[in-house]
Structure 1
């Protein structure tokens, strides 16, 4: 387990919830130096090593961004796979997507986006209001936490299709959340990860 500078880690997604990052940032800032150090050592960030040696985040983008916003410059990483140097750039990204290590969709859910448009570090990841709505919905019991990859992005796209937010730049999610909590229990969402249905209200 090695320690790497946060800004040296390449993102494997283009969108996230900035509200979630903001809240996580406040939580990290409240931690004592001792507790923060323990948290960092016990929860390494999973990465894969690209053929050129670059390290790509394959999870914990919100956590990593929040830590950086909280003033943390480096994190422990766990390399889960090292790509052979012989693998081409195109093949690298094909495998990243196939293995669900990359989410090539932008802040409006459009994609797949060409790998050339992925940001160089976590500062370049955009804000997706519907990803925020999906996170808030789970936090308020709309659906269960799921270990399936990109679960909250799937919920975000479900809510996006229903146009539960009036504007992509909406910052007040109270009304949208009320609608999302109802939509999350609807049979239309039964195939989404963490779906609970009306029986579990």
Structure 2
């Protein structure tokens, strides 16, 4: 890893570039339909604009013990760029916790809400069971469902809290999993919009009241 990535210089105009092997996911799954949507939007860009876009959307990471970089934002862009064959990962270091012990580091990540140790079925797993690389992240279709609901204005993230996980779990208990093709996903999304109008959905984080009208 290059010397520039040892500490955050404070510059936000460009990203650091590191080998993918340095990145560690902090969640147990991703929504792959969301990954495909991001890939399509990236490919829609003119080739001359892709580099600047990548640097603007750089993967937000925290440096932990052993100098590993733990992703705290843009897991889906990470997977999209990895799948497209970018030789290195664009990163921006938000915090440097490399001086902490493993226990102190984990406690700090939990305190800040930067760990989501749940698998692709929404089941709790240990931190040690989190995927070790972007390539190993499994698909959780309900994360994609929740992401599209947010884009449609059903809810928003309150502060830095990622409400998607709560919405994904809410939908997981109410929607039948269908074949993961265009028709199947569309039917699941239609059911999700109906579920978002249930009275109990009002209690979910980030719920936008006007979205029910």
- Structure 2-normalised TM-score? 0.82
2:18 aligned partner: 4
1:123 aligned partner: 135
1:144 aligned partner: 155
SS in 1 for 2:92: strand
Equivalent pairs counted in the alignment come to: 196
Q: 1:76 to 1:199 in 2, by over 3 A?
A: closer
SS in 2 for 1:173: helix
Q: 1:191 to 1:34 in 2, by over 3 A?
A: same
CA contact (8 A) 1:148 1:193 kept: no
The alignment status of 1:97 with 2:97, answered yes or no, reads: no
**Distance in 1 between the 2:172 and 2:42 partners?**
30
CA contact (8 A) 2:149 2:155 kept: no
Match of 2:46 among 32, 41, 48: 32
State the shift of 1:97 in Å.
1.9
**Distance in 1 between the 2:136 and 2:86 partners?**
17
Unaligned runs of 5+ in 1: none
2:192 aligned partner: 180
CA contact (8 A) 2:34 2:147 kept: yes
SS in 1 for 2:121: coil
The alignment status of 1:135 with 2:163, answered yes or no, reads: no
Unaligned runs of 5+ in 2: 1-14
CA contact (8 A) 1:46 1:80 kept: yes
CA contact (8 A) 2:17 2:90 kept: yes
State the shift of 1:9 in Å.
1.1
Matches within 5 A, 1:52-67: 52-67=66-81
State the shift of 1:28 in Å.
1.6
Q: 1:91 to 1:199 in 2, by over 3 A?
A: closer
SS in 2 for 1:15: coil
State the shift of 1:200 in Å.
4.7
Q: Which runs of 4+ in 1 moved over 6 A?
A: none
SS in 2 for 1:46: strand
